[in-house]
Amino acid sequence: MKILVINGPNMNLLGLREPDIYGRQTYADLVETLQKKANELGVEISFMQSNHEGDLVDAIQGAYPETDGIIINPAAYTHTSVAILDAVKAVGIPTVEVHMSDVKSRDDFRQVSYIRQACIATFMGKGFGSYVEALELLVNKLR
C-alpha cells in the first residue's frame, strides 16, 4: 500500500514558525515520525512539500494511479484553493485533510476549507498526532 503525504506552504518552516501554535519540532521530525509509523503499519510512505499551489496540484495529479491514499495539509491553501480541491476530486484517491492546529478555534478566514468536501476525514488540533491518526485511518480503510 502506497501513501503520499503532501504539505503546503510554510510547513517547511515547522520549528521556526509560530512555535506557540505549531510547536518546536521541525518538518524533518514530522517526516521521521510518519516514516516510523508507516514502518510499524507495514506500508510504503512518501513525502512532498511545496510553497507553490501549482506544484501541489502537480503532486496530486502525479499520485494517480499508483498511490492508494493521500494525507494532505494544504496549509493556507486550505482556505483559498479550488484548484487543489479539483485535483483531489479528479484523481479520486482516498484523501484525508490534516492540520496541526485547531483551525476551528482560530481566525474567521480559516473557517473555510475548500478541500474538505473531497476528503474522507479531517484531523486537526493534534500537532503531529493529526497526521498519525490520518495514517491509521487511511490504512484501516484501505485494508
> What are the residues binding ligand DQA (CB under 6 A)?
10, 73, 75-76, 78, 99-101, 103, 110
Q: What CA–CA distances, in Å, run from 7 to 11, 76, 89, 97?
A: 6, 10, 18, 10
Closer CB to ligand DQA, residue 68 or residue 134? 134
48 three-state secondary structure: strand
Catalytically active residues are: 22, 99
CB of 53 to ligand DQA, least distance (A): 13
Are 110 and 133 in contact by the 8 Å Cβ rule? The answer is no
CB of 68 to ligand DQA, least distance (A): 23
Sheet holding 95-99, edge to edge: 44-49, 2-7, 69-73, 95-99, 121-124
CB of 78 to ligand DQA, least distance (A): 6
C-alpha cell of residue 82: 479550488
Closer CB to ligand DQA, residue 124 or residue 139? 124
Closer CB to ligand DQA, residue 1 or residue 122? 122
